[in-house]
Chain A
């Protein structure tokens, strides 16, 4: 039976899709059959970041409307085994996501996968609600700034009150924090909230801190999930995050400012 994980945030542009892509890729790399679904109907992005945009024939909404079956719509990743992508429709809007339709598709997927990763759109409207409604666990992506933290707090409230688990009075959705675009030097200077500031406000376990990195932008433009960029800090951070999710106890890296060496200072490297 598959576990459904929603990647959500409330605010846009904080790194939900980047996290969904890397998280799903990481799970698949470790041998779990994983599917990642783009719930951002109308603004589809996940296929771009996963680098499969040119192979999209049918999409999530087609499956919901019974215009295609799952096998036709699922895109198999070319780089990583066990990884599938269910893209969003670019031509529809979020009203196409009906509770019954989403439930039917998720139930069908549950039979064949270990993990179902739902990439939520921003906001707290229909698309976001549908992405989190059936979730067992949630990765809440936050940037170290006040408005992002506030929106994540709002999403946590919705997870605790409007998810299926909340409505049925089941064990609540398990929540994890992903702090993305973190720059330790700026947090030290007080320009940004620190890891501890964010944890104090949100009060949920920290799954990973992803450092602010040029590599994220480059790899997303190249259609490669950043977790596949082994040598980059962001890739390593996502790798740790996946291991932690699977139960490994790893210390958090990239949370404190590195002392720059003499040569680095001389040449201004970052």
Chain B
């Protein structure tokens, strides 16, 4: 009875859960399926590091196959590797025919681990669209950062205008106009080390100098939109 009841409680709680996890696996890059040569080289490797070949799981990578016979003998390969202390757990790359043959031998095709990044240039990222200006923006100058953030290392003078589709960061005093999110991005913000602006605007909602609370003037601030209202927050409180 005791066993029975235990059995029942076992049914209440599921006997397993599925979770993703990452493993480091040894990959065997196969260049040609020459049984004799394989055996010879494997024996040599085992001599060098016998402890390594102790039921070690391996993935067989077919990318480097010089001759690509459609019907690879995966059963034979499986036996050969098993006999040398390796346990094949799957294959990588290879033609669809090879993958089908591997599946029949109980070896699933694993997805490529280096997607898209193989020898190609890295994608242009958000960060690279930022425009960085390393000098002060003087009266009468206008700087626009299209499709990204504008970062100014220096002050923005009265009579100058800084505009960005993204956020605006000013490492200096903001004395001119700053317009962030000019193409309507309401989540954009303006950051400055000293708020002395003539005008600040986010996604078209603006405040002019007169409307800025005198207690915010000269302070390090960030400005953002909350429910369509410009909020000025002090940094380093």
Contact = CB atoms under 8 A, between A and B. Distances in A.
A154 B138 contact: yes
- Taking chain A's interface residues, is the majority helix, strand, or loop, or is none over half, making it mixed? helix
B158 interface: yes
B158 A160 contact: no
Contacts, number: 38
Interface in B144-168: 154-155, 157-160
Nearest to B137: A157
Given A161-B141, A201-B175, A153 B135 contact: no
Given A201-B157, A203-B155, A157 B140 contact: yes
A181 interface: no
A154 B175 CA distance: 13
B85 interface: no
A203 B159 CA distance: 16
B157 A160 contact: no
Interface in A76-110: none
A153 B159 contact: yes
A200 B155 CA distance: 10
A111 to B, nearest CB: 33
Contacts of B157: 150, 153, 157, 201
A156 interface: yes
Contacts of A153: 138-140, 157-159
B135 A160 contact: yes
Contacts of B135: 160
The 6 lowest CB-CB distance pairs between A and B, nearest first, are A157-B138, A153-B139, A154-B139, A154-B140, A157-B141, A153-B157
Interface of A: 124, 150-151, 153-154, 156-158, 160-161, 200-201, 203
